[in-house]
Amino acid sequence: MPEAPEAPEAKAPVVTPVRVIIALCLFAPFVAMLWVGSYAKLEPTFIGMPFFYWYQMLWVLISTALTMVAYKLWQRDQRARKGGASR
């Protein structure tokens, strides 16, 4: 009876400091927006807008920046892994 071909060795996920930073960049906006008690207030106002609104709008910009940082770190991590694997 012919032997079954061996399955490629499954590698366990690697947790590196860069990947932890990526996860924190992606997780921070969720925590900030889901913790409503931290920003459910009127003061301080900014250009006449209550804190509740301008805080959320600020997080739109912060989330964009954090997602961009996470993406760039992920690209750099993937390039480093491919470069290390081909050596």
Write out the residue range of the structural domain in which residue 55 sits. 36-79
Assigned domain for 67 exists = yes
Assigned domain for 40 exists = yes
Assigned domain for 4 exists = no
How far apart are alpha carbons 4 and 38 in whole angstroms? 58
Assigned domain for 59 exists = yes
What is residue 54's predicted lDDT score, i.e. its pLDDT? 93
pLDDT in tens, 7-48: 666 566 788 899 999 999 999 999 999 999 988 899 999 999
CA distances from residue 11 to 8, 46, 75, 78 in whole angstroms, order as listed? 9, 51, 20, 15
pLDDT above 90 for 76: yes
Beta pairing partners, 49 = 46
Are 77 and 16 a contacting pair, CB within 8 Å? yes
Question: What total number of domains does the chain contain?
Answer: 1
Assigned domain for 65 exists = yes
Assigned domain for 43 exists = yes
What is residue 31's predicted lDDT score, i.e. its pLDDT? 94
The model's pTM: 0.75
